[in-house]
Amino acid sequence: MTDAYQLAIATISVATQLFAVIDPIGAVPLLFNVPDYERRITKISRLIGVAVPIILLVFALMGPYIFSIFGININDFKIAGGIILLIVAIDILRGGTSSTVPINPDDYILVPIVTPLLVGPGAITSAIIYMTYYPITAVIIGIIISSFFTYLTVRYSLLLVRIMGQSMLKMIGRFFSLIIASWAVQLIIEGITHFI
């Protein structure tokens, strides 16, 4: 396999997994609680389109330095991150959205919609861990792609709800949670295996 092909596969893996962790489809029903959501949807989607990739890129690129400063081993982080991701996945399966951090959509767009609703502990953990699995180019492009599709999901959320209904969107969000759970279990096993 060529380097370009391997890079493309890695990029698709990052983008797909990260989109599942961000889970904008599952978050759409909660966005409708924002006052004047239909009128403000353009502004909200633009802010999300800018803020999500910036936050993820900062954590992805600064992750190794954070490990160094606090003396954290990557395998310790895999176990801790896997547990967080597993909790996020279970929350979504049980309630349709992550409840690891309280969500009050009436407050502001940036907090808590961008974070922790979209870019929560699971997405931040994933972005940091991807840097140990994939080439940096694949991670950066994957973050941009997943952020772009997150923007599209929010921008056209009204159309999605009309076509699919809120119940179907919640079901899709819960399906994505199974992907998150599988990734979480893999991280935990890898971290524990290293110590054994």
Q: How far apart are CA 121 and CA 2, in angstroms?
A: 34
pLDDT at 168 > cutoff 70: yes
78 near 187, Cβ under 8 Å?
yes
pLDDT at 60 > cutoff 90: yes
> Alpha carbon of 36 to those of 43, 44, 70, 106: distances in Å?
11, 11, 43, 10
User: pLDDT tens digits for 124-163?
Assistant: 888 998 998 899 999 999 999 999 999 999 999 989 888 8
pLDDT at 101 > cutoff 50: no
pLDDT of residue 96: 53
Token digits of residue 12: 């698709």
Q: Which of 100-104, 147-151, 183-187 has the lowest mean pLDDT?
A: 100-104
pLDDT of residue 52: 95
Mean per-residue pLDDT, 101-110: 52
Greater model confidence, 82 or 116: 82
pLDDT of residue 98: 52
pLDDT at 39 > cutoff 60: yes
